[in-house]
Amino acid sequence: MSLDAGGVRHFTDVDDLSRTELETVLDAASGFKSQVERDEPHPVLERKTLGMVFEKPSTRTRVSFETGMTQLGGHAVFLGPDDIGLGGREPLKDISRTLSGYVDCIMVRLFDHADLDELAAHAGVPVVNGLTDDAHPCQTLADLLTVRETVGFDATVAWVGDGNNVAQSFVLGCALAGVDLTVATPPDYGISEAVFDRAAELGSAPTVTHDPEAAVADADVVCTDVWVSMGEDGNRDEKLAAFEEGGFQVNDDLLAGSDAHLMHCLPAHRGEEVTNAVLESDRELVWQQAENRLHAQKGLLAFLLDAL
């Protein structure tokens, strides 16, 4: 796991976990999920506080972390752009040091990954990446939990779409878990070679193709995400054209003859990267996947705060 000079453990991307630690977090997530289903309290973070710093808007990240801390017996404090003025009113390192005196853990949802690294470098408590433009590791934890619950880690998984932050963390997570992954992206919208190198060091890099039909041919699960991410509206038309011409929409034709399940991290742009028919079909694991953000993040928080 990522450590700063003071020995504090951070979660900036999914490969900050070892394979054993990943299993520990997912096992804890499964346990917490079962306790929720049985209406059993599990206040393992009683009197602990999570500070939540947001530059980007959020539905799932904010609600899942805030609800998760409540279920764990703790408390979450929301700090939006107007509350904290990240990097404007005062340096990032001052914000990090100040928050570390108040809370037990800091979760951030930011644009620039370098800002996350700077906050973590000066924090006296664990810092969790709730999303940056480079990575979305908490989503990957939920994705892996969903794969493990449904088809198991010996399954074949395909990523079809943009090589964005969600895809990059997913590549690392699949390598860490030993999941057989194929990634299909248009030629100009692929995943960073540095991410593939990190995946290879963890276990194995994914198979890479520009042919979505080849990627899904033998897949047990097909994953996708929006083609145009937050902050990319300037090249929206160009990106849409590339994905449409390449046949990257997950639709009935692409999945014809396949029993593959569908995963999507949401929000979905129905009619772009995925059709309404597929999203509303019996294939979908999307809502299970969305719920699993709550349980996976609870497992992570309990792990980081030595409550397992």
State the Cα–Cα distance between residues 19 and 201, nearest whole angstrom: 12
8 A C-beta contact, residue 23 and residue 30: no
Instruction: Quote the CA–CA distance of 274 and 226 in Å, as a whole number.
Output: 8
Percent helix, strand and coil across the chain, each to the nearest 5: 45, 15, 40
**What is the DSSP-derived secondary structure letter of residue 11?**
B
CA-CA distance, 232 to 236, in Å (whole number)?
Answer: 7
* H helix intervals, 123-192: 137-150, 165-177
Active site residues: 109, 136, 139, 225, 265, 293
Q: How many angstroms separate the CA atoms of 276 and 42, rounded?
A: 37
CA-only gyration radius of the chain, Å = 19
DSSP letters spanning 267-303? ---BTTTB-HHHHTSTTB-HHHHHHHHHHHHHHHHHH
Q: Residue 234, exposed/middle/buried by CB under 10 A (0-12, 13-18, 19+)?
A: exposed
CA dihedral 118, 122, 125, 128 (to 10 degrees): 0
Which SS3 state, helix, strand or coil, does residue 55 take?
A: coil
- Show Cβ contacts of residue 35 under 8 Å, excluding neighbours closer than 6 positions: 41, 42
